[in-house]
Amino acid sequence: MKITGLSHLFKWENLHNWWLTKYFFPPLFVLCTSGDSVKVYSTRTEEWLHSLQGHTNQVTGIALNRANHLQVYSCSADGTVKLWDFIDGILIKTFIIGYPLFAIYVSEKHDGIVFLHIAMDTDSKNECFQLVAVHLPKSAEQEVEAKELSAVSSRISPNPSCTAFGREGQYIAFARHLQLNVYFFRKQKTYSFSLKATDKKGAKNAFTCIACHPADDCIATGHEDGKIRLWRNFIHTKEYTYSTQHWHHNAVNTLCFTPEGTNLLSGGIESVLVQWQYGAGNRKEFLPRLGGSILHVSTSSDGQLFCTSHSDNKITVIESSFKVCGVIQGLVKGDAVLTDLMIDPRSKALVLNGKPGHLQFYSLMRDKHLYNLDIVQQEYIYEAGLDQFEVVKAAFDINGYWLATVEERGQKSSDLEFVLKLWAYDERTQSFVLNTTITAAHTDRIISMCFSSSEETTMLVTTAEDGQFKAWCQGADADTQQDQSFWSCEFVGSYHNLKPTNCSFSADSSLLAVNFQEVITIWSPDTWELLTTLCQPPGVVRDLCFGRLSCSKYLIATTTRNLLCCWNLLTCALEWSTSVEVSKLQPDPLSENVAAFSYQSKHTDLFVFKPSEPRPLFTHKNMCSEKIHRAVFVPREEPLNNCDESSQWLNRSQLYFLTQNMDLLTFSTATEEDRMLSSSKRLVIDDSVAVTPFYLLLGKHRQQQQKLNTPSHPAADKPQQPQGSVTITELLHTPAHVLPAASVLCSMLVSSLLISNTGVRKDPLREMESSEQEMNSEKEEEHSEEEMEACDSQQELRAQGSVDEVTPKLSKAQERELKRIRKTDFSWMTGLIDSKP
């Protein structure tokens, strides 16, 4: 079992957003870094194609290989530079540098040299970076150590957008704070230009990004106050000159010239992409409302497409005519996740804060962003430091018919505003529709809320800082003529003026537990009678939940004084308690299991236990180094049948949790891993073959053949290169003028299309032996038995042999197979001729 990040998501990188560099070539692909991998997306379909995996730490930069446009360099904090074939996702080479790398640059002038940012001191807080040129040794080996490092400059900003190569790679421009430096490689001379810290109007002049014109000697710089300066004549320390443009009201995050140099693109927090016409002063075009603030802009090498990455984990693909033509949206990343992680019972989508003022619905199954639900219904202003409405709480009822949300504004200032909203699911529009808005639900902010879990009556309980908890029910007053019924308050409860924090319904909704600081009160929702109180001082109750299914008689609570208690509600006595610091308690709705995340001595441990027994089912020590506050059990579509004791708790649902770094992580079992891997492999292969009439004709056949060819293989769904398809590909790929006459080929082609016998006869034994056979293999067996009479040729034998050798996971083996086929050259022809009927 393994902890994995969601494979198809951009990994949330709130720590160093500016490391999300991406490059863009040919317009078919977008590459972006994501955690320790580089992801390749198609710009046409907006689909994730594959990841370039191999780095062991954060990938910090990618750069296209100027010598070969199908290759890309990536650098990582693990101290390596890797060269990839990004179309097929193959790692070509690894260069070991030995220092953590923070950015990579290449220039067309410097063949075999990459420029890297490395930290000057081991202490990275010091933010002392230097730019080094690394000569990449030419060697046939897979892993090479690159030792030839030469420092270019030490006055480097940690921000990789503050360094750029100039025209034809003749110079490199880099800025730090208020100084712009231009280093000319030929002259080996640096020119420095400084701006004043502030001018009279209080402008902040610090550099934030740099771009160099591709044809002219012009450097564009972005500044903290939103100005863009175009520098020229920078070979003179005195007669240099610059012009200033000002549109952005906040820092310019990114600048990029189009490949022809006719336009300059800029973006910032306003989430407006601005296109400045180069050389035409202040003539500009805008593309507003793109989403989160723009972090990076890049253009395709032909200038046809622009691409912006946004702080909310999104890539927008924009045509050169300034129209959005595609959006690649990952899990929307807001400033913070204030709501719990929830599962929409209907769509089984993960629900959490998304765009500002929205809830996002994210399908974990399809790993795709579904939609944003606008809760606040106010225009969000993209400006730093504004206090705007934000969704802070949300809850679904058990059927997914009702959604309750709380939005809040003014947490920092004293005048708090908050609104409780109830949304009903509309079958017709297939979305949530606002039913009731309660502006003054409580006199102070709402701390928690939950729906009752019974199917019949839906009830919402909210607790607030004003010392009360309220129960809300639908449609109490009959005087409304409308057929819609609204929500109103049914009961207000309090206990000794203490502040309630958590509330929870038991599994059958017959009991409601509300804790008032140290005291847990148990209420009957039918009569609103205080049944009993439970107390286990010292320590305020932090989290509480009821057990499920067979353990529904138990109530579990955690306190701030590192205590995990379990009460038996039948006896109203403490069943057991243990001393553990629990930051999050999460019950599984489909089983008795409860997951507890414990944060101790700077790392998080996970305990999974049943309330009935104090011994944990599963313990994972030192899971991650951050505190975990959000977690959710996601029910599986179909339960797994894991016999392995340690992973049994994952059979019915999957545990997802969110770290403080905003990484969404999950536990996955070994079988899932395999499936994930194979599905990604299949994607690659499918994509490499264009959908042509030939493919439609031959592809089906090939699949059949593929099945026939691999009955003996343990994992039938693992793709491989069947012999038949190789011949046909070879046939189709050979230039027409070197092919034999069509009459000869025709018969060959037809014969190759015939369903040939795969020589199953030879291996019935092995077939019997294979225990882990999949369902469909039986069918294939029948199938192949029918074809038993088909002729057996030496060609087939060889093919069989090759198949046996192949271990399809390894690209090396595949290569070897390809080599073998190349060696045999046209001998396949004779084989086919021989087998002529």
Partner 1 sequence: MGEFKVHRVRFFDYMPSGIRALAFNGDTERMAVARMDGSVEIFHCSDRFFQEKIIPGREQCGIEGLSWVGERLFSAGLNGGITEYDLTNQKVKYTIDAYKIPWYTFLILCFYHLNLDRQKSRIVSLSWHTSGSKIAAGMMDMIQIFNVETGHSIHRMLADRGVGTSRSKECVVWSVVYLSDGTIVSGDSVGMVKLWDDQTGTLIKSHNVTKCDVLALSVSQNEDSLVAGTSEGTVVQFQFVSMVLGKDDKEWVRTRTFKNHTHDIRAVAEITTAVVSGGMDAQLVVKPLLDKIEVRSAASALRKIHFPHRRLVFCARNSGLMLFQYPGHLELWRLGESEGKGIPGSSLFVKRNPEKLLHLKVKGEDHIRCSAVSPCGEWIVYSTASSLRLYRLHCDNNNVSITKISKLPKVLSSANQLCFSSDSSHLFSASTQSSVHIVSLSQSGCKFVGTLKPKSGSHQAIHLLAASEDGEWLASANSDHEVHIYNLQTRKAHCTVPVYSSAVTAMGIHPTTNCLFMMYADQQMCEYSIEQKQYTDWSRTVQRKGLHRLWMERDTPCLNVMFNPQNPSHVILHDTYMLCIIDQSLPLPDDKTQFYNQLTLKSLTEDQRKSHSHAFKVCKTFKDILCVELISDQSLVVVERPLEDVATQLPAPIKQKKFAT
Q: Write the single-letter amino acid at 480.
A: T
Judged by CB, which is closer to partner 1: 192, or 524? 192
217 binds partner 1 (CB under 8 A): yes
Q: Which of 200, 212, 253, 245 shows the shortest CA–CA distance to 227?
A: 245
Residue 217 vs 417, nearer CB to partner 1: 217
What b-and-e string marks burial along 200-214, b requiring 16 or more CB atoms within 10 Å of the CB?
eeebbbbbbbbbbbb
Closest distance to partner 1 from the beta carbon of 243 (Å): 4
# of chain residues touching partner 1 (CB under 8 A): 23
Please report whether residue 488 would count as binding partner 1 according to CB under 8 A.
Answer: no
Cβ atoms within 10 Å, residue 546:
23
- Give 288 or 537: the residue with its C-beta nearer to partner 1: 288
Q: Cα separation of 532 and 166, whole Å?
A: 75
With respect to partner 1, which residue has the nearer C-beta, 227 or 393?
227
Interface with partner 1, residue 242, by CB under 8 A:
yes
For residue 412 the two structure tokens come to 């920092």
The least distance separating partner 1 from the CB of residue 238, rounded to whole angstroms, comes to: 5
Phi, psi of 641 (to 5 degrees): -120, 70
SS3 of 492, please?
Answer: strand
User: Contacting partner 1 (CB under 8 A), which of 69, 249, 682, 761?
Assistant: 249
- Rank residues 233 and 692 by Cβ distance to partner 1 and give the closer one: 233
Query: 280 vs 691, which CB is nearer to partner 1?
Result: 280
The angle subtended at Cα 580 by Cα 577 and Cα 584, nearest 5°, is 105
Stretch that binds partner 1, among 55-63, 227-235, 620-628, 800-808 (CB under 8 A): 227-235
Question: What is the C-alpha separation between 462 and 419, in angstroms, rounded?
Answer: 12
Least separation in angstroms between CB 90 and partner 1 = 39
Residue 699 CB neighbours (<10 A): 15
Span 266-295, contacts to partner 1 by CB under 8 A: 279-283
Among 236, 615, 761, 779, binds partner 1 (CB under 8 A): 236
Smallest separation (angstroms) from partner 1 to the CB of 179 = 17
In the complex, least distance from residue 223 CB atom to partner 1, rounded to whole angstroms: 15
Closest distance of CB 220 from partner 1, Å: 13
Q: How far is the CB of 322 from partner 1 (least distance, A)?
A: 19
Residue 794: in which H helix or E strand, if any?
Answer: helix 794-805
CB of 283 vs partner 1, minimal distance in Å? 6
Kindly state whether residue 239 participates in binding partner 1, applying the rule CB under 8 A.
Answer: yes
The rounded distance, in Å, linking the Cα atoms of 228 and 278 is 12
Q: How far is the CB of 409 from partner 1 (least distance, A)?
A: 22
Q: Is 345 left (phi over 0), alpha (psi -120 to 50) or beta?
A: alpha
Q: Going residue by residue from 149 to 168, which x/- string records binding to partner 1, judged by CB under 8 A?
A: ------------------x-
Nearer to partner 1, 116 or 274 (CB): 274
Least distance (Å) between residue 282 CB and partner 1: 7
Shortest distance, CB of residue 376 to partner 1, whole angstroms? 24
DSSP 743: H
Q: How far is the CB of 401 from partner 1 (least distance, A)?
A: 46
Query: Between residues 204 and 603, which has the closer beta carbon with respect to partner 1?
Result: 204
Residue 88 is a binding residue for partner 1 (CB under 8 A): no
Structure-block tokens of residue 223: 């500044």
Q: Does 240 bind partner 1 (CB under 8 A)?
A: yes
Taking CB under 8 A as the criterion, the residue among 244, 321, 414, 771 binding partner 1 is 244
Span of 103-111, 235-243, 391-399, 636-644 interacting with partner 1 by CB under 8 A: 235-243
Tell whether residue 735 is a contact of partner 1 (CB under 8 A): no
Q: What is the 3-state secondary structure (H, E, C) of 651-664?
A: CCEEEEEEECCCCE
Strand order in the sheet with 305-310: 294-299, 305-310, 314-319, 324-329
Q: Residue 218, interface with partner 1 (CB under 8 A)? A: yes
* Alpha-carbon span 95 to 147, nearest angstrom: 9
Task: Sort 792 into a burial class: Cβ within 10 Å, 0-12 / 13-18 / 19+.
Answer: middle
Alpha carbons 340 and 37: distance in angstroms, whole number:
28
Nearer to partner 1, 218 or 424 (CB): 218
Other beta carbons less than 10 A from residue 224's beta carbon:
16
Q: Choose among 80, 28, 31, 25: nearest CA to 54.
A: 80
The residue (of 231 and 418) whose beta carbon lies closer to partner 1 is 231
194 near partner 1, rule: CB under 8 A: no
Residue selected from 4, 56, 192, 233 as contacting partner 1 according to rule CB under 8 A: 233
Q: What residues are paired with 252 via a beta bridge?
A: 268
C-beta closer to partner 1: residue 281 or 837: 281
* Distance of closest approach, residue 169 Cβ to partner 1, in angstroms: 14
Please say whether the beta carbons of 587 and 570 come within 8 A. Answer: no
Minimum CB separation of residue 653 from partner 1 in Å reads: 51
Q: Which is nearer to partner 1, 280 or 476 (CB)?
A: 280
Residues 764-783 that bind partner 1 (CB under 8 A): none
Q: Is 189 in the site for partner 1 (CB under 8 A)?
A: no
**Segment (H or E) for 422:** strand 417-426
Ramachandran assignment for 44, one of left (phi > 0), alpha (psi -120 to 50 degrees), beta (any other)? alpha
Contact 550, 569 (CB under 8 A): no
Contact (Cβ atoms closer than 8 angstroms) between residue 758 and residue 804: no
Alpha-carbon 265 to chain mean position: 26
Tokens 């420095």 identify what position?
192
Instruction: Pick from 15, 151, 197, 215 the residue near partner 1 by CB under 8 A.
Output: 215
| Cβ atoms 246, 228 nearer than 8 A | yes
Q: Which is nearer to partner 1, 235 or 337 (CB)?
A: 235
Lookup: tokens for 597: 């995340």
The distance of Cα 362 from the centroid of its chain, to the nearest Å, equals: 11
Site for partner 1 contains 216 (CB under 8 A): yes
CB of 578 to partner 1, least distance (A): 58
The one among 16, 109, 204, 232 contacting partner 1 by CB under 8 A: 232
Residue 46 or residue 217: which is nearer to partner 1 going by CB? Answer: 217
Span near partner 1 by CB under 8 A; candidates 28-36, 210-218, 365-373, 785-793: 210-218
When asked if residue 128 is in the footprint of partner 1 (CB under 8 A), the reply is no
Q: Does 201 bind partner 1 (CB under 8 A)?
A: no
Q: Which is nearer to partner 1, 170 or 704 (CB)?
A: 170
Nearest to partner 1 of 125, 201 (CB atom): 201
Helices 776-786 and 693-709: crossing angle in degrees, nearest 10, is 100
According to the binding rule CB under 8 A, does residue 382 interact with partner 1? no
Q: How far apart are CA 422 and CA 470, in angstroms?
A: 15
Closest alpha carbon to 280 in 238, 320, 236, 245: 245
Rounded to an integer, what distance in angstroms lies between the CA atom of residue 225 and that of residue 236?
26
Q: How far apart are CA 65 and CA 82, in angstroms?
A: 11
Give yes or no for residue 365 binding partner 1 (CB under 8 A).
no
Token output for 177: 């704070």
The half-sphere exposure of 29 on its side-chain side, counting CA atoms within 13 A, is 23
Residue 185 binding partner 1, by CB under 8 A: no
**Which of residues 166 and 831 has its CB atom nearest to partner 1 in the complex?**
166
* Shortest distance (Å) from residue 472 CB to partner 1: 42
Q: Is 235 in the site for partner 1 (CB under 8 A)?
A: yes
The footprint of partner 1 (CB under 8 A) covers 167, 215-218, 232-236, 238-244, 249, 279-283
